[in-house]
Amino acid sequence: MVRVNEDIARKVADVARLLYVRGLVQVKGGNVSFYDRPEGLLYITPTGVPRHTIREDDIAIMKIDGTVLVGTPSSEYRLHLSIYRSIEEAVAVVHAHPADVIALYEAGLRISADIMTEASIRVGCVTDVPPLTPGSEELASATAEALKASGCRAAVLRKHGIVTYSTRDVYEALDAAEALADAARVILFSRLIGS
């Protein structure tokens, strides 16, 4: 029997709902996780549950070896596991699909976090990963490697979305994702106004 930390499950569900409210994911898109390292348990959003209705008892629980203990984890669980295995200080991961970020990269531009004070503080630097199949081991490995090698807390997954991680909590990872999306919007608007 798994002893569920209800506070962790509640926060993961809350961040998933906020991602949808902020327009950073589609109704069944994106995913959020928290790795309770002392207990060795990964709390992750489930697959197929509309993000605006997600509750704490919908949250899936896994071990770091991929064993599912509770529920049906997101199809992107490999991405989360790979980041936690590669970056020892990571405890929370947010994966979102902000259209502004994807548009920016498809236009041949890149995000510079120093465009906004908030992005500079919350994200620092941004790395990117080439287009790879969502949910695949290839995407998971490439993302974790890019984050670890760059020292960045955020990565753009080309033609797909973004991933951010935190060393503190899920709200900090969400904050970084929001700052990244806002920075992309500022760059796009400034290019539009400038032209």
Closest alpha carbon to 103 in 148, 62, 161, 168: 161
Closest alpha carbon to 59 in 118, 18, 4: 4
Unique residue bearing structure tokens 């199809």: 75
Tell me how far apart the alpha carbons of residues 45 and 193 are, in angstroms, rounded to a whole number. Answer: 38
Q: What is the DSSP letter of 40?
A: T
Q: Kindly write down the DSSP assignment for every residue of 127-165, as one continuous string.
A: EEE----TT-HHHHHHHHHHHHHH--SEEEETTTEEEEE
157 dihedral zone (left: phi>0; alpha: psi -120 to 50; beta): beta
Question: Catalytic residue at 172?
Answer: no
Active-site entry in 76, 88, 137, 172: 76
Catalytic sites, residue numbers: 76
